[in-house]
Homo-oligomer: A and B are copies of this chain.
């Protein structure tokens, strides 16, 4: 059980991070995700981190890389479910998520993607 499963719902892909991510699994996730965004024609990717207790600069960079990659493939990325303690730590350490959008939970993430889709601005 090393690969993070990618769920598909309509044109949104959902990833729930539950394992400690090392270099290998992050690379695998990015590759799998890029493939799925293309094959599914996804317009949005939601990454749920409600099970994640610690975010360091490594994970932060991963979110930024995924978001940049998805944007190239015409999909928006939203990180949802951040624990309050994680948000506090991120700010205290001066870490950013590289401009990745966040939402409180999965539902609000889906609503955000719907909203972004409605605007239909060229990117």
Contacts and interface: CB of A to CB of B under 8 A. Distances in A.
A14 B81 CA distance: 14
A109 to B, nearest CB: 10
Contacts of A105: 7-8
Interface of A: 1, 3-5, 7-10, 14, 16, 18-20, 48, 50-53, 81, 105-107, 110
Number of copies: 2
A111 to B, nearest CB: 11
Contacts of A9: 9, 106-107, 110
A112 to B, nearest CB: 14
Given A18-B16, A18-B19, A19-B18, A5 B107 contact: no
